[in-house]
């Protein structure tokens, strides 16, 4: 009988140890997740979750990833061409409208 009791006590201790181990593992995971969250930034343009392997830049209170920055850079570099394209479009549109007006006279 005594032996049975001892066996039970040993099992109890083993169970508790396993339980504590599980809690510790859980806590470790939790702090790891927290740590990762601090490293994690979400690009406000493409909403990509960026860890360390994707560089991000902070602009104001928001983060922007390297991919979006590249797109923006290209856009800014071509801004003049883009602007002239827009103004050409506007000129053409104006011309067409004037022609339409002329033909109605
Ligand atoms: Zn992005």
Residue 99: per-residue pLDDT: 93
Mean pLDDT of 57-80: 93
Ligand 1: centre distance to CA 32 (Å): 25
> Per-residue pLDDT tens for 47-67?
988 887 788 999 899 999 999
Mean pLDDT of 72-76: 93
What integer pLDDT is reported at residue 20 of this predicted model?
A: 93
Contact in structure between 42 and 51 (CB atoms under 8 Å)? no
**Predicted confidence (pLDDT) at residue 102 exceeds the cutoff of 80:** yes
Q: How far is the CA of 82 from the centre of ligand 1 (A)?
A: 22
Helix 79-104 / helix 66-77 crossing angle, nearest 10 deg: 60
29 CA distance to ligand 1 centroid (A)? 28
Q: Residue ranges per domain, the chain?
A: 1-38
Nearest 5°: CA angle at 51, between 69 and 57? 30
At 3, the pLDDT band (50, 70, 90 cuts) reads: confident
| Model confidence pLDDT, tens digit, residues 11-27 | 999 999 999 999 999 99
pTM: 0.49
């Amino acid at each position: 009988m005594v032996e049975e009791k001892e066996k039970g006590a040993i099992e109890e201790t083993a169970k508790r140890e396993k339980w504590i181990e599980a809690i510790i593992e859980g806590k470790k995971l939790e702090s790891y997740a927290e740590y990762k969250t601090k490293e994690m930034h979400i690009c406000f343009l493409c909403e990509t979750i960026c860890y360390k392997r994707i560089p991000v830049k902070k602009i104001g209170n928001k983060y922007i990833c390297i991919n979006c920055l590249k797109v923006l850079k290209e856009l800014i570099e071509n801004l003049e061409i883009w602007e002239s394209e827009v103004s050409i479009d506007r000129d053409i549109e104006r011309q067409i409208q004037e022609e339409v007006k002329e033909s109605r006279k």
